[in-house]
Every structure is written in C-alpha cells, then in structure tokens.
C-alpha cells in the first residue's frame, strides 16, 4: 500500500535522495518555527517529512541542570526519580480483540499520521517510553538526559491488519540506518525502535529486521525491545497534524489516504 506519497516499495536506496524519511532535511520552502504551546522558553530541532517541499523547524534546546534531573533542588517527587517505574512493562490494556504495538521513527507528529491512515488501526497515541524518569514532560525528554524515545502506540485489530503490515509501514517511512537521527532531528528521542508486547511480535520484528538488512546491505540501527511503560504526551501533541498544527492546515487521517504529509509547527 502506498501511503503519503512515499515510494511504494519498502526497499531503500543507499542514496538519500530516493528515501523519504521522518525529519528529512531536503526542503525547499522557507523555514518555519515550531509552535510549542507550553514550551516557549526552549525548543529542539524537530522536523517531519513527506512533502517534496516540506519545511524544517529549528528551535533552541533547553539548558537543563543535571543536579535537578538527579533530584537535587528540583520539585520532583521521589517517585518521579524512581527508574524502576518507567522501566516496568506497559500495563495498559487494549480494547477487546485489539493489540498494541509501539514504534519510534523520529518526530512523532508525522509517524502518528502515517499509522492513523493504515487499515486495521483503531487508535493511535503519541508518547514517551524506554526512559529512566517517571511521568516525563516534553521538556524532560528534549533535554536528552532521560533516554526516552518519542513513540506512537498503535492499537490495531489483527483480523483487519497484521503486525507484519505495520512493520512494512514502519520500514518504508523512515531511515532505520541512522542512530539517534532522522534528517535534521538529532537526539536519543528520535531513535528507531520497535517495542513488542508478545513473543510473536518479537519474533516477527527480528525476522523483518534481518530481511531489511539483506535488502539494504547495510547495518540497521533499529532497537527491538519489550514495550515498557508508555507515558502519553501532552494533549496538544495528540493527532497534531490531523488537527491542523499551529496554522490550522488540517491533514486527512482517512484510511488509505495518499496525500503527502506536511509537517509544520
């Protein structure tokens, strides 16, 4: 299935010009500033993909006090600093007859819209996982000190869309060979990751990765790990592009939609 104007084939080229990735830097329109409603004091490089004339966004990373991150002089509770909580399994329960999967592939705005359009997907949420801090904020994750990844948690009906279909979408929509990076988006929160809920998902994901490496002839940096506690991101991040972002330019989340995805602040 061809989604969002990307190549129909899941095979990648070794040249960046033929691969549309989350966070690609090959933009020809003027740069725009990402709008962060509650984060006006700081920002991070955060760009998305898909349109041949897609802009990128550059904002300033916050300076974080490491002692505060360790709990000295901060308002954090002792529970928030307990890394055993975020390192526990995702104990949320999907709807009856549904399954969860988690994917990290760069800026979660574009990643979410891609999966919203996939048949069989009944719900998507963006959030943070695999980190060391309980109840992280977007500011925490952007600091680069918590090891969280920006992910999309996908709820899907396996009778309507298989996990293999989700993996095909995942591989075709980002560059899995760049560690901690998608285009202009650089940092641990942009790493490529598949986070599984069942032994079957783990087996399928690892076999799929091996196939992709053979096709590419290159080492893939994607991590495949058990799904850990999922922290839902702030509400303004949810379905961000479908809702129109800062400027109200709504993009379709209809199943099978092939419209190019434009990412903006």
Write the pLDDT tens digit of every residue in 231-245. Answer: 999 999 999 999 998
* Residue 265 binned pLDDT confidence (cut-offs 50, 70, 90): low
What is the mean pLDDT of the segment spanning 118-132? 98
- HEC string for 58-99: CCCCCCCCHHHHCCCCCCCCCCCCCCCCCCCECCCCCCCCCE
* Residue 57 binned pLDDT confidence (cut-offs 50, 70, 90): very low
C-alpha 157/C-alpha 124 separation (Å) is: 12
C-alpha 69/C-alpha 76 separation (Å) is: 9
- Catalytic, 107? Answer yes
Whether the CB-CB separation of 166 and 181 falls below 8 Å is answered with no
User: What is the value of pTM for the model shown?
Assistant: 0.75
Instruction: Name the helix (H) or strand (E) containing 125.
Output: strand 121-129
Q: Which residue did the predictor score with more confidence, 259 or 50?
A: 259
Cβ atoms < 10 Å from Cβ of 117: 24
Beta bridge partners, 89, equal 228
End-to-end CA distance of the chain: 28
Whether the CB-CB separation of 17 and 26 falls below 8 Å is answered with yes
So what's the pLDDT on residue 37? 44
Q: How far is CA 220 from the centre of its chain?
A: 17
Decide which of 3.40.30.10, 1.20.58.220, 3.30.1060.10, 3.40.50.300 is the CATH code for 22-64+84-243. 3.30.1060.10
So what's the pLDDT on residue 43? 39
Which one is catalytic: 48, 107, 142, 263? 107
Q: What is the pLDDT of residues 2-38, one digit of tens each?
A: 333 333 333 343 333 334 444 443 333 333 334 444 4
Q: What is the pLDDT of residues 194-226, one digit of tens each?
A: 999 999 999 999 999 999 999 999 999 999 999
């Amino acid at each position: 299935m061809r989604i969002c104007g990307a190549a129909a084939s899941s095979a990648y080229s070794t040249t960046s010009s033929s691969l549309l990735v989350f966070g690609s830097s090959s933009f020809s329109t003027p740069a725009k500033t990402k709008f962060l409603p509650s984060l006006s004091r700081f920002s991070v490089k955060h760009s998305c993909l898909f349109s041949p004339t897609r802009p990128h966004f550059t904002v300033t990373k916050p300076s974080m006090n490491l002692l505060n991150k360790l709990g000295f002089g901060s308002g954090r509770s002792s529970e928030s600093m307990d890394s055993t909580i975020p390192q526990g399994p995702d104990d949320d329960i999907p709807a009856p007859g549904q399954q969860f999967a988690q994917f990290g592939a760069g800026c979660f705005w574009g990643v979410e819209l891609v999966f919203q359009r996939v048949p069989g997907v009944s719900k998507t949420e963006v959030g943070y996982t695999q980190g060391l801090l309980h109840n992280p904020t977007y500011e925490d994750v952007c600091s680069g000190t918590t090891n969280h990844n920006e992910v999309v948690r996908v709820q899907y009906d396996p009778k309507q869309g298989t996990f293999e279909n989700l993996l095909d979408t995942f591989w075709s929509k980002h560059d899995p060979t760049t560690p901690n990076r998608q285009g202009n988006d650089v940092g641990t929160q942009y790493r490529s990751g598949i986070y599984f809920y069942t032994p079957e998902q783990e087996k399928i994901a690892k076999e799929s990765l091996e196939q992709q490496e053979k096709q590419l002839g290159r080492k893939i940096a994607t991590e495949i790990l058990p799904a850990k506690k999922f922290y839902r991101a702030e509400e303004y991040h949810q379905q961000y592009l479908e809702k129109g972002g800062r400027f109200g330019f709504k993009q379709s989340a209809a199943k099978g939609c092939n419209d190019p995805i434009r990412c903006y602040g």
